[in-house]
């Protein structure tokens, strides 16, 4: 069933929003130059372009959060706009229901208070009655129904605490909070970050089923191909719309760039000829044509205004060859809080192999890397590293970055020059290879976008010679051009590569074999790429379970604390379930007392005002009983799913 209904106020024959002549600059950087764009009802548009080109900024201009320097932005009146931001919600001490209901401000707080009140011990009937009347007064029950429907569609437990959620489930909370607003136009900025492959496939279906207008930014090429019906390319200040799928867009864009390059080449030849003519001797200058001089001035101006495209020059520093045997693991096992993460696993990695690690978050991929590096000791078994290893490790959490440190100091540790491949290179020149200009090189890291921070990590990683690369989610936030170049360099790298990634296309283009994490410590080796494995296996065994309601075992997250949280969550559910039968019995007793009082002779001889308090109490108790019985079923199902 599609998520959301097309708004009856939305005119299918009219654009939902338009940009006319929109220009925006930040300092000397031109973000948009007289951009025109029309978005129609039902469009599913992917914004494409390099990191820092202005994709997120364009979203904020459309939403009205950023005002352009010139031009106009028009939005069809009466429509609801909602955005899913890149950043995750904070881990506050509140339920998922409360976090999602917060989209409705004061009404949401009333609904959250009511949701907690109906399962709380010794709840005051007066307080419950107050909440019910307050919600009725603002027509809040329809909003509660909408929240319940979205949480049910996204398969989330409304009473689970947000503090216990890992990154992937926090992303689901953010998705739910934007969807309950019932948007006509839904914006999503890098929605696949923090999600594992099964959850990305789930989100892909959510986006395809969305019945309104969709505008999104993503680096996941398979998702873009599956969802987008149009692509808006942002390139050196130009905003262009292409009404085709993503793959066709790439082909047409590349052709356009080839034509542009050829035109620029012809232009430069003509300019060079005119420059040679103006520099001729005295005789030529005496007889020169003033119109031709004016043409030359115009050509010079046009050339100076041409904004060239900086190209990434990614080079992996090569170290001496390692020994033929890189890693040998024999019978290694690792458990946390009685849950197996790695179980009796044998692995031999030889020089030159490129191995991908895939599986749901929490299955143990990062744990295995730490075991192989010696950062964690196995509970049993043995890990041996080969000889002459120069290891470079990419950390997905960006914990190596100090936001206040300058970009150049991070790369060079305060030095002006660094050694790359046996030659001395100025740090600004090296950073320019990774598309950082001089101003960015001197700026603090906090001023960089997420994709630029990942590019900086790659610059630091490749500044040192290595023959064994361990890359933990290197593709997050990277634009497609950077991804493709990284793929080429890794394919040409003569050393050994171990990659954790949820980017299906990236895995297909780089790795030669897989380690598939199936859960409960089981890891299977597979020779071939991701698509080869998927065709043969039809996905993870847990892929269907990835949609279980807030199943902690399938919850995204790969930290040691996840297992502890799972156990604590189960104990919490068990304690709540143990209390419900007594609450049901007590509530049924109160209902029986009231029903007996009403059945007594003379009750209906009382005036209406004297009858009403007893009737209201009965309504409250009956509502409470219905909620308790529903929660009883939910708890039993949740525990059974674990």
User: Mind listing the pLDDT tens digit for each residue in 55-76?
Assistant: 889 999 999 999 999 999 999 9
Per residue in 40-56, pLDDT tens?
Answer: 999 999 999 887 788 88
Contact (CB, 8 A) for 379 and 333 = yes
Pick 41 or 278 by higher pLDDT: 41
Residues 376 and 502 in one domain: yes
Let me know if residue 146 belongs to a domain.
no
Let me know if residue 102 belongs to a domain.
no
Contact (CB, 8 A) for 551 and 360 = no
The model's pTM: 0.66
Least confident of 183-197, 302-316, 495-509: 302-316
Average pLDDT over residues 349-375: 88
Which residue(s) pair with 340 in the sheet?
A: 335
Contact (CB, 8 A) for 483 and 459 = no
What pLDDT score does 578 carry? 81
Looking at 204, 235, 270, which one is the last position of a domain? Answer: 270
Residues 247 and 395 in one domain: no
Contact (CB, 8 A) for 390 and 467 = yes
Nearest to residue 623, comparing CAs of 137, 109, 141, 108?
141
What pLDDT score does 429 carry? 82
What pLDDT score does 417 carry? 79
Per residue in 139-192, pLDDT tens?
Answer: 888 888 888 888 887 778 888 888 877 777 888 899 898 888 889 999 999 888
Element (H, E) at 185: strand 185-189
Assign 436 to helix, strand or coil. Answer: coil
Q: How confident is the model at residue 464 (pLDDT cuts 50, 70, 90)?
A: confident
215 Cβ partners below 8 Å, 6+ apart? 39, 43, 45, 47, 59, 62, 185, 186, 187, 188
Residues 441 and 349 in one domain: yes
Q: Give long-range contacts, CB 8 A cutoff, 24+ apart: 402-407.
A: 402/445, 403/444, 403/445, 403/446, 404/444, 404/445, 404/446, 405/444, 405/445, 406/441, 406/442, 406/443, 406/444, 406/445, 407/431, 407/436, 407/440, 407/441, 407/442, 407/443, 407/444, 407/445, 407/448, 407/456
Residue 493: is its pLDDT beyond 80?
A: yes
Nearest to residue 367, comparing CAs of 97, 170, 558, 613?
558
The percentage of the chain sitting over the pLDDT mark of 90, rounded to a whole number, equals 20
Structure tokens at 110: 């009333």
Longest Cα separation, the chain = 126
Residues 263 and 343 in one domain: no
DSSP 325: E
Average pLDDT over residues 374-400: 83
Residue 380: is its pLDDT beyond 90?
A: yes
Average pLDDT over residues 368-379: 90
Residues 578 and 506 in one domain: no
Domain that holds residue 616: 569-633
- Return the sign of the alpha-carbon dihedral for residues 423, 424, 427, 429: negative
Bridge pairing between strands 380-385 and 522-527: unpaired
What pLDDT score does 296 carry? 61
In whole angstroms, what is the distance from residue 599 CA to residue 618 CA? 13
Let me know if residue 163 belongs to a domain.
no
Let me know if residue 334 belongs to a domain.
yes
Let me know if residue 176 belongs to a domain.
no
What pLDDT score does 561 carry? 43
Which residue intervals of 217-289 are DSSP H helices?
Answer: 221-227, 246-278, 282-287
Pick 242 or 430 by higher pLDDT: 242
Contact (CB, 8 A) for 59 and 19 = no
Pick 565 or 134 by higher pLDDT: 134
CATH of the domain at 600: 1.10.287.380
Contact (CB, 8 A) for 265 and 258 = no
Structure tokens at 247: 């793959």
What pLDDT score does 546 carry? 39
Residues 398 and 458 in one domain: yes
In whole angstroms, what is the distance from residue 287 CA to residue 267 CA? 25
Residues 504 and 582 in one domain: no
Least confident of 136-145, 248-257, 377-386, 545-554: 545-554
Residues 603 and 497 in one domain: no
Extended strands (E) in 511-600: 513-519, 522-527
Per residue in 515-569, pLDDT tens?
Answer: 999 888 899 999 888 888 988 876 776 444 433 333 333 333 444 445 545 665 6
What pLDDT score does 549 carry? 35
Residue 7: is its pLDDT beyond 50?
A: no
Residue 557 neighbours by CB distance under 10 Å: 22
Residues 574 and 515 in one domain: no
What pLDDT score does 538 carry? 67
Pick from 111-120, 136-145, 339-348, 387-396 the range whose average pLDDT is largest. 339-348
What pLDDT score does 306 carry? 53
Average pLDDT over residues 404-413: 85
Structure tokens at 313: 């020059």
Residues 420 and 344 in one domain: yes
DSSP 446: G
What pLDDT score does 10 carry? 46
What pLDDT score does 315 carry? 64
Q: How confident is the model at residue 125 (pLDDT cuts 50, 70, 90)?
A: confident
Contact (CB, 8 A) for 247 and 234 = no
What pLDDT score does 62 carry? 93
Q: Residue length, the chain?
A: 642
Residues 361 and 464 in one domain: yes
Contact (CB, 8 A) for 349 and 498 = yes
Let me know if residue 261 belongs to a domain.
yes
Per residue in 188-231, pLDDT tens?
Answer: 998 888 788 888 888 898 899 888 999 999 988 999 999 999 99
Let me know if residue 72 belongs to a domain.
yes
Average pLDDT over residues 368-383: 91
Nearest to residue 169, comparing CAs of 567, 553, 573?
553
Let me know if residue 355 belongs to a domain.
yes
Which residue(s) pair with 516 in the sheet?
A: 358, 524
Contact (CB, 8 A) for 310 and 435 = yes
Least confident of 177-186, 255-264, 302-311, 482-491: 302-311
Q: What is the mean pLDDT of the chain?
A: 80
CATH of the domain at 482: 3.40.50.300
Structure tokens at 598: 């009403």
Structure tokens at 567: 């156990």
What pLDDT score does 555 carry? 36
Looking at 236, 253, 270, which one is the last position of a domain? Answer: 270
Least confident of 231-235, 249-253, 445-449, 575-579: 575-579
Say how many domains are in the chain: 3
In whole angstroms, what is the distance from residue 452 CA to residue 475 CA? 12
Residues 466 and 388 in one domain: yes
Element (H, E) at 488: helix 480-492
Pick 129 or 325 by higher pLDDT: 325
Residue 74 neighbours by CB distance under 10 Å: 12
Q: How confident is the model at residue 8 (pLDDT cuts 50, 70, 90)?
A: very low
C-alpha distances (whole Å) from 569 to each of 74, 117, 335, 555 are 47, 20, 18, 12
């Amino acid at each position: 069933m599609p998520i959301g209904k097309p708004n009856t106020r939305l005119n299918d024959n009219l654009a939902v929003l338009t940009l006319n002549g929109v220009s925006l600059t930040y300092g000397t950087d031109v973000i948009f130059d007289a951009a025109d764009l029309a978005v129609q009802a039902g469009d599913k548009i992917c914004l494409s372009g390099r990191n820092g080109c202005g994709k997120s900024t364009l979203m904020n201009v459309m939403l009205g959060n950023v005002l352009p320097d010139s031009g106009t932005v028009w939005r069809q009146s009466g429509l609801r706009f909602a955005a899913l931001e890149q950043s995750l919600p904070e881990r506050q001490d509140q339920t998922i229901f409360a976090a999602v209901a917060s989209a409705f401000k004061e009404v949401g707080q009333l609904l959250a208070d009511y949701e907690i009140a109906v399962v709380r011990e010794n709840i005051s009937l007066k307080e419950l009655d107050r909440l019910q009347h307050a919600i009725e007064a603002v027509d809040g029950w329809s909003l509660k129904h909408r929240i319940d429907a979205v949480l049910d569609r996204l398969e989330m437990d409304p009473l689970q605490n947000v503090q216990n959620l890992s990154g992937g489930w926090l992303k689901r909370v953010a998705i739910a909070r934007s969807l309950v607003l019932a948007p006509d136009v839904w914006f999503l900025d890098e929605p696949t970050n923090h999600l594992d492959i099964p959850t990305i496939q789930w989100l892909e279906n959510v986006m395809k089923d969305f019945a309104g207008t969709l505008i999104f930014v993503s680096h996941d090429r398979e998702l873009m191909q599956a969802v987008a019906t149009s692509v808006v390319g942002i390139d050196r200040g130009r905003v262009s719309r292409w009404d085709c799928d993503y793959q066709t867009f790439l082909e047409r864009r590349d052709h356009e760039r080839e034509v542009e390059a050829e035109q620029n080449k012809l232009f430069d030849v003509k300019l060079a000829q005119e420059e040679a003519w103006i520099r001729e001797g005295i005789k030529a200058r005496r007889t020169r044509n003033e119109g031709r001089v004016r043409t030359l001035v115009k050509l010079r101006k046009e050339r100076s205004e041409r904004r060239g495209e900086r190209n990434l020059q990614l080079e992996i520093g090569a170290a001496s060859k390692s020994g033929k045997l890189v890693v040998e693991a024999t019978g290694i096992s690792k458990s946390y809080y009685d849950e197996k993460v790695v179980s009796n696993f044998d692995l031999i990695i030889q020089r030159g192999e490129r191995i991908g690690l895939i599986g749901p978050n929490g299955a143990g991929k990062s744990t295995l890397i730490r075991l192989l590096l010696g950062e964690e000791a196995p509970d049993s078994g043995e890990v041996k590293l080969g000889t002459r290893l120069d290891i470079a490790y990419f950390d997905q959490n960006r914990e190596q970055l100090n936001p206040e440190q300058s970009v150049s100091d991070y790369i060079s540790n305060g030095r002006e020059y660094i050694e790359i491949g046996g030659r001395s290179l100025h740090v600004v020149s090296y950073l320019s290879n990774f598309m950082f200009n001089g101003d960015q090189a001197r700026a603090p890291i906090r001023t960089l976008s997420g994709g630029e921070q990942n590019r900086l990590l790659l610059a630091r990683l490749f500044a040192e010679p290595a023959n064994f690369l361990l890359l933990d989610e290197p593709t997050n936030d990277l634009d497609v051009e950077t991804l493709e170049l990284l793929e080429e360099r890794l394919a040409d790298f003569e050393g050994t590569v171990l990659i954790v990634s949820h980017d299906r296309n990236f895995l297909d283009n780089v790795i030669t074999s897989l380690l598939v994490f199936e859960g409960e410590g089981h890891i299977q080796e597979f020779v071939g790429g991701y698509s080869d494995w998927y065709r043969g296996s039809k996905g993870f065994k847990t892929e269907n379970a990835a949609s279980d309601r807030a199943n902690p075992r399938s919850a995204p997250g790969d930290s040691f604390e996840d297992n502890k949280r799972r156990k604590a969550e189960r104990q919490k559910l068990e304690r709540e379930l143990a209390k419900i039968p007594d609450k049901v019995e007590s509530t049924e007793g109160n209902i029986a007392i009231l029903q007996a009082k009403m059945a007594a002779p003379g009750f209906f001889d009382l005036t209406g005002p004297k009858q009403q308090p007893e009737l209201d109490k009965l309504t409250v108790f009956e509502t409470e009983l219905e909620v308790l019985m529903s929660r009883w079923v939910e708890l039993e199902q949740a525990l059974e799913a674990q």
